[in-house]
Amino acid sequence: MSRADWRVVGLVTSWQVAASVCYYTVFAATPLFREAFALSRFEVGFVVTALTLGYATFLLPVGALVDRFGERVTLTLGLVGLSAGSALVAGAPTFATLLAAAFFLGSTYAGAIPGTNKAIYDRIAAGRQHVAIGIKQVGVTAGSGISALLVTGLAGVVVWNAGFFVASALGLAVAVTFAHLYANAETSARATYPDFRQLSRNAPYRTLVAAGFFLGAALFTTTGYVVLFVQEELEASIAAGGIVLALVQVAGSVGRVVAGWLGDVFPGDPRLRLGGILLVQAVASAASFAVVATVSSPLVGTIAFVVLGFFVLGNTGVYYSCMSTVVTNEEMGGATAGGQLSLVAGSIVAPPAFGLLADLVGYRASWMLLGVACLIAAGLIVHTTRLEAPVEDPAVE
């Protein structure tokens, strides 16, 4: 990539790290919420659901705004909102206000994927876009890993919500920097709102969106329950659980970069090679969940979760790359918003179901449930690669 390309990737990735630090504080703090508000595992799931429901509610509207007004304004305002939302979660006095604050925090994260994906596909040259997406997606896992260490580490030495305030300050600082250094790409085309009706008639796109529901269920539920599982089932400390979650995120970061690199260097039709990579990740995720369901020691559990993270957290970059082969460049903001909405929809349903199953039966059944979700996603991915190409000029050829 050229120096200009690296500048764009660096700025967008830095934004994504700061945004994810704010957003993923909720996932890292599940055991802290349980203690502070006397919650059951089932109720903890609703905190994650409130967060992702806010995210899902605003994904399509904000995705449309990204296509209409560009990524600089939407991403800057989004990060300011994330900083405010993180502080609101930290100051919530009751369970009800915690849910409301989590919903607000999630809503302000809605521009992340549409905005950052549009930046990459608008401004990075063809042949480097998949690895650029993979690097940018590392910002998600890096931010989540930082938040895990931040929230669980400070909780033991200061107060339980100290990490949220640090995340808020970081978000504001990066928002100011991003707004100053980032400039929208120059374009002669008139900006328009995406045509969601046209996207709904795109059969491969619809199938990818359906697969995203099951991939999202596995991804977000994993990040939401790792710390709690390590503490309760493997009998380790909350801080140790935070370290395991951070390692899971690091493994996911590596998985995203490796998958993006393979998507750029493998020969052949883009839809087939990218779909094949995503298929391997989905099947390997299912197998990894089966292994996690059997672990009983912190060391073995850590290894199993790292392998799981490589696959289940490493697939989002390729997921969006697959999407870029079935929609036009002008549709990428709205299309990725729709895909992310599906990912988040899975995360709305799955965490409470996971927690309820863990309360009633045990964690083994809960992890196996996520493995089944990945196998369903794999079947839908196979179907996507068999459908006829819907557009003559996809964002990536």
| DSSP-assigned letters across all residues of 80-148 | HHHHHHHHHHHT--SHHHHHHHHHHHHHHTTTHHHHHHHHHHHHS-TTSHHHHHHHHHHHHHHHHHHHH
Span 281-296, pLDDT tens digits = 999 999 999 999 999 8
Q: CB of 269 within 8 A of CB of 328?
A: no
Res. 300 pLDDT band, cuts 50 70 90: very high
DSSP state of 388: P
Tell which residue, 354, 290, 281, has the closest CA to residue 322: 281
Res. 20 pLDDT band, cuts 50 70 90: very high
Q: CB of 141 within 8 A of CB of 252?
A: yes
Span 326-348, pLDDT tens digits = 887 667 767 777 887 888 788 78
Q: Does residue 170 have a pLDDT over 80?
A: yes
Query: Per-residue pLDDT averaged across 222-231, rounded?
Result: 88
Q: What is the pLDDT of residue 189?
A: 42
Q: What is the largest CA-CA distance in the chain?
A: 59
Q: What is the pLDDT of residue 321?
A: 84
Q: CB of 212 within 8 A of CB of 121?
A: no
Task: Give CA torsion, residues 119, 125, 129, 131, to 10 deg.
Answer: -120
Q: CB of 115 within 8 A of CB of 78?
A: yes
Q: How far apart, in whole angstroms, are the C-alpha atoms of residue 221 and residue 27?
A: 9
Q: Does residue 144 have a pLDDT over 50?
A: yes
pLDDT, greater one: 389 or 162: 162
Q: Does residue 79 have a pLDDT over 60?
A: yes
Q: What is the pLDDT of residue 86?
A: 95
Q: Does the pTM of the predicted model rise above 0.75? A: no
Res. 6 pLDDT band, cuts 50 70 90: confident
Delimit the domains of the chain by residue range.
Answer: 3-181+194-386
Query: Per-residue pLDDT averaged across 227-248, rounded?
Result: 88
Q: What whole-number percentage of the chain has pLDDT above 90?
A: 39
Q: CB of 150 within 8 A of CB of 25?
A: yes
Q: How far apart, in whole angstroms, are the C-alpha atoms of residue 282 and residue 208?
A: 13
Architecture of domain 3-181+194-386: Up-down Bundle (1.20)
